[in-house]
Structure 1
Amino acid sequence: MIVERAYAHVESYDDGEWPWSLPCVRMLLTDGLRFTAPVTFLVGENGSGKSTLVEALAEGFGLDPWGGSHDWRYASPRAKSELGERIRFDAAPRGRRMLGSWSARTGFFLRAETALDALEREGFAPDSVSHGEGFLAAFRGKFLRPGLYVMDEPEAALSFASCLELIGHIDRLARSGGQVVCATHSPLLTALPGADVIEVGDHGLRRTTWGELALVDHWRRYLADPGAYLRHVLD
């Protein structure tokens, strides 16, 4: 692993204002976020703060919040967030040199809504492939060396089969010394054996297992009986 813990210190803040209003951010400030496995999945409803967390982690590591590799630090006009400016890491033994030297850092931030722009900036030609194929191209060409790889809902553009391929890429990256932190809604990705699963919500941050995720339970129930859900949303 590259990092063992992420944390942030803020002398004072208004807990009624974003992002300090998010329970997961307040927990990051008080307890920090420990990483216990090479792959960590953050799972939660829209608005829970999981995307805010992964973006801040990427920024804290020096990755452009728009997306891309460490070589493209702040290539976009997007400003660094208040939380991202304050993120600090406790290095794992393998990551001490990387965190101690800017030039030694390796990583990539892949966010769903800006992935194709980031890939084009990295030298890919996303216009020649589908959105999903562009995502997979990033993994095949950029997610190779030991480093910190942060992702925000990478499954957004992927089919079932492509999600399975992505799981294989993530597993190989972790086995080769990389570390992955991924915000996701996917029950496919979170089933990766050995991954650490953290549920984000009103409780803040809570470690759980794939089988105990509310996400997994809802998908099971929906696939078994779609009508039980659809009757509440269809006229």
Structure 2
Amino acid sequence: MIIERVNASVASYEPTEWPWSVPCVRQLLDEGLRITAPVTFLVGENGSGKSTLVEAVAEGFGLDPWGGSHDWRYASHRPKSVLGEQIRLDASPHGRRMMGSWSARKGFFLRAETAVDALDREGFAPHSVSHGEGFLAAFRGKFLQRGLYVMDEPEAALSFASCLELLGHIDQLAKSGGQVICATHSPLLTALPGADIVELGDHGMRRVAWRELALVDHWRRYLADPQAYLRHVLD
């Protein structure tokens, strides 16, 4: 483990203003978020605060808020987010050594714009591969070292088979001493054995078993009977 707890604090805030109006952010201010496993998935509907949290964690670790690895910063003029300015990370002894030296810090923040730049910097031609292949190439080329890997919906460009490959990369990272914190909508990714799943919503944050996730229940019901859902959205 590298990061064991995520905390945030502000002297005062207006609870009706973003991001303080988001329930999971308010809970983070009140209680913090304990990290209990090498792989943590943040799951919730759009607007639940998943991306807000993972971006702030990446910023707290010293990664570029626009995405990228520990050793290159292609958006260095972009300021930290409002929440990122307030994030404090409680690290393990190994994590403290890593965060105490820029040369020792290892990690990557993956978002849509990152994959294309990562391919370009690694000598690939981004236009020669699909968007999904670009994401996987970034994993194959960059997600190799023992470090902190923060991801924001990496499954967005991936097929079912590619998601399985991504899951294999995440598992190998965890087994080699790396740590992953990932915002996702994917029932496939969140099924990783041993992963910690935190569900975000109006309730704030709570730990949930995979089978009890709302997204797993909806996918199961939809695949069993699509019309039960489609009749509400189609004329």
**TM-score after normalising by structure 2:** 0.96
Distance across 1 between alignment mates of 2:48 and 2:118: 25
> Which runs of no fewer than 5 residues in structure 1 stay unpaired?
none
Partner of 2:42: 42
Residues 68 and 114 of structure 2 are in contact (CA less than 8 Å); yes or no, is this contact kept in structure 1? no
Alpha-carbon deviation of 1:120? 2.9
SS of 1:82 mapped into structure 2: coil
> After superposition, what is the alpha-carbon deviation per residue over 1:140-161, rounded to whole angstroms, capped at 9, x for unaligned?
1101111110000000000000
Partner of 2:181: 181
Amino acid at match of 1:196: D
Distance across 2 between alignment mates of 1:40 and 1:102: 24
SS of 1:102 mapped into structure 2: coil
Alpha-carbon deviation of 1:122? 5.6
Matched-pair identity in %: 83
SS of 2:65 mapped into structure 1: coil
Residues 2 and 94 of structure 1 are in contact (CA less than 8 Å); yes or no, is this contact kept in structure 2? yes
**Are positions 1:64 and 2:61 aligned together?**
no
Residues 63 and 74 of structure 1 are in contact (CA less than 8 Å); yes or no, is this contact kept in structure 2? no
Greater displacement, 39-48 / 56-65: 56-65
Residues 68 and 122 of structure 1 are in contact (CA less than 8 Å); yes or no, is this contact kept in structure 2? no
Alpha-carbon deviation of 1:123? 4.8
Greater displacement, 11-20 / 119-128: 119-128
Distance across 1 between alignment mates of 2:26 and 2:158: 32
SS of 1:71 mapped into structure 2: coil
Aligned residue runs from structure 1 range 1-235, under 5 A: 1-73=1-73, 75-112=75-112, 114-121=114-121, 123-235=123-235
Alpha-carbon deviation of 1:194? 0.2
Residues 122 and 141 of structure 2 are in contact (CA less than 8 Å); yes or no, is this contact kept in structure 1? no
Amino acid at match of 1:136: L
Distance across 1 between alignment mates of 2:201 and 2:194: 22
Change (3 A) 1:16 1:196: same
SS of 1:104 mapped into structure 2: coil
Amino acid at match of 1:55: E
Distance across 2 between alignment mates of 1:20 and 1:231: 36
Residues 109 and 151 of structure 1 are in contact (CA less than 8 Å); yes or no, is this contact kept in structure 2? yes
Alpha-carbon deviation of 1:128? 1.8
Alpha-carbon deviation of 1:50? 0.5
Alpha-carbon deviation of 1:96? 2.0
Amino acid at match of 1:189: L
Greater displacement, 52-61 / 65-74: 65-74
Residues 38 and 174 of structure 2 are in contact (CA less than 8 Å); yes or no, is this contact kept in structure 1? yes
Residues 146 and 177 of structure 2 are in contact (CA less than 8 Å); yes or no, is this contact kept in structure 1? yes
Q: How many pairs does the alignment contain?
A: 235
Residues 41 and 183 of structure 1 are in contact (CA less than 8 Å); yes or no, is this contact kept in structure 2? yes
> Which runs of no fewer than 5 residues in structure 2 stay unpaired?
none
Change (3 A) 1:114 1:103: closer
SS of 1:222 mapped into structure 2: helix
Residues 67 and 113 of structure 2 are in contact (CA less than 8 Å); yes or no, is this contact kept in structure 1? no
Amino acid at match of 1:161: A
Alpha-carbon deviation of 1:79? 2.0
SS of 1:94 mapped into structure 2: helix
Amino acid at match of 1:233: V
Amino acid at match of 1:188: L
